[in-house]
């Protein structure tokens, strides 16, 4: 029945309030939810009250005092770490000159919770790192408040593209508070210096042999010294061909500069 009344109240507010004043309608709807949540806390239905207060906060996030309602309901439900977190948010946003009395009351409640909880403060020079504490995603860096947890094992992880994963583990006692520093520096460009994968070496150029020296132009046979020697000795053309084809060691007498470059024909 309560949910039906809530839905009806929100619908009525939406119908009655002019469209030109949406902020006022959201505030009124949030006030309805807060009143319902307070009734649930008094009746001991604290988990249901948390749901009401959370919806009110979503409708009208400008009202930081809803954090006190959330902290009260979370304490009632035994969710002490969340209660401490809500009280921290309130104290961070409260106006000292206007909320002095409420600030004193909330600070006293938070101090009492701190005695039974452990906490850490997280410092990170790089924004946008995803913070996970004991398996629960807290948000992203920078985290401007203490992170509370039950005494015992604590596992913190911070992830960000371009950076090494930061992992921190400790066992904390009740009332203990530690400051954790993520040793990242502001990256240059897209990646953290030293975090980028090794640069790919430039491709090795394919081996290209040096160009061969152009073969010297072959002199006509009739200009070679041995041609006229053979002619002068009266050797016939057929005999000359046989001698050139069969005489061993003939090429050894060629000038060294020509060796291996001019084929013996």
Which whole number is the average pLDDT over 59-81?
A: 94
Of the given ranges (109-113, 123-127, 157-161, 189-193), which has the lowest mean pLDDT?
189-193
Beta strands in 89-161 (DSSP E): 118-124, 130-133, 136-140, 147-149, 152-159
Residue 155 has pLDDT above 60, yes or no: yes
pTM greater than 0.85 (yes/no): no
Class of domain 1-116: mainly alpha
Q: Where in the chain is the domain with CATH 1.25.40.10?
A: 1-116
Q: Where in the chain is the domain with CATH 2.60.40.1120?
A: 119-187
Query: Is the preceding peptide bond at 142 cis, omega within 30 degrees of 0?
Result: yes
Give the pLDDT confidence score for residue 264 in this predicted structure: 33
b/e 160-199 (16+ beta carbons within 10 angstroms → b): beebeebebeeebeeeeeeebebebeebeeeebeeeeeee
- Look up the CATH number of domain 119-187: 2.60.40.1120
Is residue 142 within 8 A of residue 197, CB to CB? The reply is no
pLDDT above 90: residue 159: yes
Pair of tokens at residue 159: 């992830």
Quick: pLDDT tens for 222-244: 555 544 554 454 444 444 344 33
| Tally of CB atoms within 10 A around 142 | 14
pLDDT at 214 over 80: no
Each residue of 5-58: pLDDT tens digit?
555 555 544 544 444 456 678 899 999 999 999 999 999 999 999 999 999 999
Residues 46, 73: contact at Cβ < 8 Å?
Answer: yes
pLDDT over 70 at 245, yes or no: no
């Amino acid at each position: 029945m309560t949910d039906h009344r809530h839905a009806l109240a929100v619908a009525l507010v939406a119908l009655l309030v002019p469209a030109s004043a949406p902020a006022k309608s959201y505030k009124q709807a949030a006030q309805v939810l807060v009143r319902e949540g307070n009734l649930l806390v008094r009746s001991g239905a604290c988990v249901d009250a948390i749901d009401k207060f959370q919806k009110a906060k979503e409708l009208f996030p400008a009202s930081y005092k809803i954090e006190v309602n959330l902290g009260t309901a979370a304490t009632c439900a035994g969710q002490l770490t969340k209660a401490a977190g809500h009280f921290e948010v309130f104290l961070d946003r409260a106006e000292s000159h206007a909320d002095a009395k409420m600030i004193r009351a909330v600070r006293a409640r938070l101090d009492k919770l701190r005695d039974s909880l452990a906490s850490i403060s997280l410092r990170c020079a790089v924004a946008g790192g995803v913070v996970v504490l004991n398996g629960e995603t807290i948000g992203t860096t920078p985290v401007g408040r203490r992170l509370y947890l039950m005494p015992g094992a604590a596992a913190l992880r911070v992830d960000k593209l371009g950076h090494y994963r930061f992992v921190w583990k400790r066992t904390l006692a009740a009332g203990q508070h530690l400051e954790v520093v993520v040793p990242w520096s502001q990256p240059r460009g897209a990646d953290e210096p030293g975090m980028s994968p090794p640069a790919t070496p430039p491709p090795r150029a394919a081996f290209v042999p040096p160009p061969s020296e152009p073969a010297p132009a072959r002199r006509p046979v009739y200009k070679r010294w041995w041609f006229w020697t053979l002619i002068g000795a009266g050797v016939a053309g057929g005999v000359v061909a046989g001698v050139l084809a069969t005489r061993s060691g003939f090429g050894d007498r060629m000038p060294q500069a020509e060796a291996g470059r001019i084929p013996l024909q």
